Amino acid sequence: MNYENVVVKKPWGKEYLCYRNSEVAIWFLHIEKDKQTSMHCHPNKNTGFVVLDGEVELSFLRNTMPLKSLDKIHIFRSRFHSTKAISNGGAFIFEVETPEDKDDLVRLDDAYGRKGTQYEGTQHHTPRDETCFWIPEATENKTHTLNGCLVTHLVANKEDMLDLEEEELFLVTNGGVVTDTQQKVVWPGDVIDGKTLSRLLESFDFATNTTMLYITK
């Protein structure tokens, strides 16, 4: 299924694809206030979250954690989780999946009767409109404002990234960070803060053709 031209309606809000390549797919989610996704997992893919605006409660089977704007988290395959928006206006989130597979879904519980069902079919799709955001390729190096954040897709340059701040986030879309022997320590789909990235670049380097989504306020 090609999702590039549709918005997927959800009982908790909506989501749409805003970038894809052979390594990652990035989705833009709007979860409405006091609504939540199902308690679900992805058996075969990893998921990364970046909260752009609003606040959420991210729940696992045995604990819950709060996330606010510019907070990030990685959710590894097969870990059950649910996301609830708790702020006025809901929450706006980038979700990155590696590898891309919307059918890789197991719903354990759901407030809207979707337990055990698969991803929403075409009856829940509406056409994209001019309000939908698409991330341009890194070679264009354009900065966009999205829900209070500045978002730039860029080609990684080590010299520019040796003194970054924790509030600067980087979502790897291609390549990554590698050792001298080409062991990869940061992968496509990973979300890393600037201070951590700078620390790694003191000892390691970017893989050839690394591109990253730079997200900051």
Query: pLDDT digits over 181-200, tens only?
Result: 999 999 999 999 999 999 99
| 94 phi, psi to nearest 5 deg | -90, 130
Q: Mean pLDDT over all residues of the chain?
A: 97
Q: Is the pLDDT of residue 202 over 90?
A: yes
Residue 202 structure tokens: 């003191």
Cα 52 to chain centroid distance, Å, stands at 10
Question: What are 211's strand-pairing partners?
Answer: 155, 174
**Residue 152: pLDDT band by 50, 70, 90 thresholds?**
very high
Q: In degrees, to the nearest 5, what angle opens at C-alpha 121 toward C-alphas 119 and 124?
A: 105
pLDDT in tens, 44-60: 999 999 999 999 999 99
Cα 27 to Cα 63: distance, rounded to the nearest angstrom:
25
Taking domain 6-127, whether its CATH number is 3.40.50.1820 is answered by: no
- CA torsion 193-198-202-207 (nearest 10°) is 70
- Cα torsion 61, 188, 217, 35: sign: negative
Domain boundaries, the chain: 6-127, 138-216
Per-residue pLDDT at 105: 98
**Residue 19: pLDDT band by 50, 70, 90 thresholds?**
very high
Q: Using omega within 30 degrees of 0 as the cis cutoff, is the peptide bond preceding 11 cis?
A: no
| 68 phi, psi to nearest 5 deg | -125, -175
Q: Is the pLDDT of residue 1 over 90?
A: no
DSSP 124: G
Nearest to 18 by CA among 105, 117, 83, 92: 92
Burial grade of 33 (CB within 10 A; 0-12, 13-18, 19 or more): middle
**Residue 131: pLDDT band by 50, 70, 90 thresholds?**
very high
Q: Is the pLDDT of residue 155 over 90?
A: yes
Q: Is the pLDDT of residue 159 over 90?
A: yes
Q: In degrees, to the nearest 5, what angle opens at C-alpha 182 toward C-alphas 178 and 186?
A: 30
Per-residue pLDDT at 40: 98
The predicted model gives 202-214 an average pLDDT of 98
Per-residue pLDDT at 129: 95
Helices (H), 173-214: 194-201
Cα 100 to Cα 192: distance, rounded to the nearest angstrom:
20
Per-residue pLDDT at 72: 97
Cα 198 to Cα 188: distance, rounded to the nearest angstrom:
17
